[in-house]
Amino acid sequence: MQIILVTGGVGFIGSNFIFKVRKKRWANIINLDKLTYASNPQTLEELQHDPGYHFVHGDIGNIELLRNLLEQYQPNAIINFAAETHVDRSILSPQDFIQTNILGTFQLLEASRAYWEKLSPQKREQFRFLHVSTDEVYGSLSPAEPAFREHTPYAPNSPYAASKAGSDHLVRAYFHTYGLPTLTTNCSNNYGPRQFPEKLIPLMILNALNGKPLPIYGDGQNVRDWLYVVDHCEAIYQVLQHSRIGETYNIGGNNEQTNLTVVEKICTILDELAPKPNFRHSSLMTFVKDRPGHDRRYAIDCSKIKSDLGWEPKENFDSGLLKTIQWYLSNLSWVEQVQSGTYQTWIKQNYGDRKAKRVAQ
């Protein structure tokens, strides 16, 4: 069976990927994760007795650790999910983003190159380095502009997007310069089970359940293309298995929504699943001070992955959102664990001076 070294696999997308791969018995997994604030060790607890899953606590920036891991486990592929991922945090403290997303990816590429160069010709041929990136590297679209294609010029606007763009360029350079068999995927906003509640959808679900304000930045008309995380994980696996080396693929949900619509839909579902007498969750919606440099619209054209690999998203937004909300309602101990300690500090830091401008009617 294939062995995949996954980095950042305790996080949202990585953990969903690992569950999928182990459930299908597609590969054995080594999961290297630093366990930052964004991870919850409870996430992968149910795999603790799975002999095809092994967790290693560590940093992708630690080259000695990487060398030892590669030597010991001899993976056929590496999938790099590890990153600092939250735009608002990158605005308040960009340092960690440069450290992990740029320098960490660089160390991972260096260790991978040294390992790959020593493999037998057959194993070299099979080896893949797949880098998971974002549509945010392409910048912001106006309402009428066509969706991002793989050849759309990079124009990152936030420190997060700039750090991911830097890592994408390094991956590209390692393919062109050293021949390392790399693949890059640029996906849109994911949603689904196990997402840390600093991102829009889980934050709104949990605030609404707790009767707290639902803070909508600016006018709420910013648009994101929402991709169900399970669809995304399937796309990554398709790219890993079938893509030509050196390719990049955009992965999206064909599902553009304004933030206001997303929050309204969450409120409507919660009115049904968690009703309170004489109360509508939408009464908690509050417009607050905008994010600095807030990108107006992201949209992904995923026709290349459809025509090359036959992948397209299966989940529609209403059913995906319902499943997501049901997951949070059924996993309150997971929620409790991530909402303790440093999470409260973050909420004060990010929302403390975003005074409510207007409460939605």
* Interface residues toward ligand NAD, by CB under 6 A: 7-8, 10-14, 32-36, 38-39, 59-61, 81-85, 100, 104, 132, 134, 164, 187, 189-190, 196
Query: Residue 299: CB partners within 8 Å, gap ≥ 6?
Result: 141, 147, 148, 188, 223, 225, 252, 256
Q: Which is nearer to ligand TYD, 80 or 259 (CB)?
A: 259
x/- map, 244-263, ligand TYD, by CB under 6 A = ---------------x----
Task: Please identify which of the residues 33, 59, 84, 135 carries the catalytic annotation.
Answer: 135
Q: Which is nearer to ligand NAD, 34 or 281 (CB)?
A: 34
Element (H, E) at 262: helix 259-273
Alpha-carbon distance of 266 to 208, in angstroms, equals 9
x/- map, 176-205, ligand TYD, by CB under 6 A = -------------x---------xx--x--
Identify whether 219 is a catalytic site residue: no
Q: Which is nearer to ligand TYD, 192 or 215 (CB)?
A: 215
**CB 283 → ligand NAD: shortest distance, Å?**
28
Q: How many CB atoms lie within 10 A of CB 221?
A: 13
Contacts to ligand TYD from residues 314-343, by CB under 6 A? none
Q: Which is nearer to ligand TYD, 7 or 189 (CB)?
A: 189
- Taking Cα atoms as reference points, which of 333, 305, 164 lies closest to residue 243? 305
**CB 355 → ligand NAD: shortest distance, Å?**
27
Alpha-carbon distance of 181 to 129, in angstroms, equals 6
Interface residue with ligand TYD among 77, 83, 216, 270 (CB under 6 A) is 216
Q: In the chain, what is the greatest distance between 2 CA atoms, to the nearest angstrom?
A: 69
Q: Which is nearer to ligand TYD, 4 or 203 (CB)?
A: 203
Cα-Cα-Cα-Cα torsion 107, 109, 113, 115, nearest 10 degrees, comes to: 70
**CB 60 → ligand NAD: shortest distance, Å?**
4
Q: Which of the choices ligand TYD, ligand NAD, none does residue 185 contact, using the CB cut-off of 5 to 8 A by kind?
A: none
Q: Which is nearer to ligand NAD, 168 or 264 (CB)?
A: 168
- Taking Cα atoms as reference points, which of 59, 62, 77 lies closest to residue 1? 77
Identify whether 160 is a catalytic site residue: yes
Provide DSSP, 285-312: EEEEPPPTT---B--B--HHHHHHH---
Q: E-strand spans in 34-76?
A: 53-57
Task: Please identify which of the residues 33, 59, 84, 136 carries the catalytic annotation.
Answer: 136
What are the φ/ψ torsions at residue 359 (nearest 5 degrees)?
-90, 130
Query: Residue 113: CB partners within 8 Å, gap ≥ 6?
Result: 174, 178, 180
Q: Is 224 in the site for ligand TYD (CB under 6 A)?
A: yes
**CB 313 → ligand TYD: shortest distance, Å?**
17
> Counting runs of H as helices and runs of E as strands, what totals does the chain give?
14, 13
**Residues belonging to the active site:** 135-136, 160
Sites of contact with ligand TYD (CB under 6 A): 87, 189, 199-200, 203, 215-217, 222, 224, 259, 291
